[in-house]
Amino acid sequence: MQRVQSVTAAEFSREVLFSPVPVVVDVYADWCGPCRALAPLLEKLAERYAGAVKFVKVNLDEEPEVAEVYRVEAVPTLLFFRNGQFADRVTGIPPAQAMLAKLDDLARRPEGPVGR
């Protein structure tokens, strides 16, 4: 079962900015090898953090306006949101332990930027 939901620019506000739980947005491209390598990890993390953190993905080529608003310059880029506010970003494939720490923090802390 796929736990990382694809969203369009039209759905972004509803699925990310108005989400009752923190959200990780995977900005990716179909042609991007590292993006394909990151996808299975995100699926596992979505399962692990089900109910505590929501995971969505946005295709850079199909939804360029999302990348433009959040100044995504390379893929993969992970955008972190808490309480409807942009909190942090990671470009590339993060080390597993760093990603787990960031997600634990995101899931646990109700307010404030991620990782600070």
- When pLDDT is cut at 50, 70 and 90, the band that residue 110 belongs to is low
Domain chopping of the chain, boundaries: 5-108
Q: pLDDT per residue over 33-42, tens digit each?
A: 999 999 999 9
User: According to CATH, what is the number of the domain 5-108?
Assistant: 3.40.30.10
* pLDDT value of residue 108: 86
Q: Which residues are catalytic?
A: 32, 35
Q: Convert 71-101 into a string of H (helix), E (strand) and C (coil).
A: CCCCCCEEEEEECCEEEEEEECCCCHHHHHH
Compute the average pLDDT of residues 86-93: 96
Q: What is the pTM of this model?
A: 0.91
* pLDDT value of residue 114: 44
Mean pLDDT (the chain, rounded): 92
Residue type, 38: L
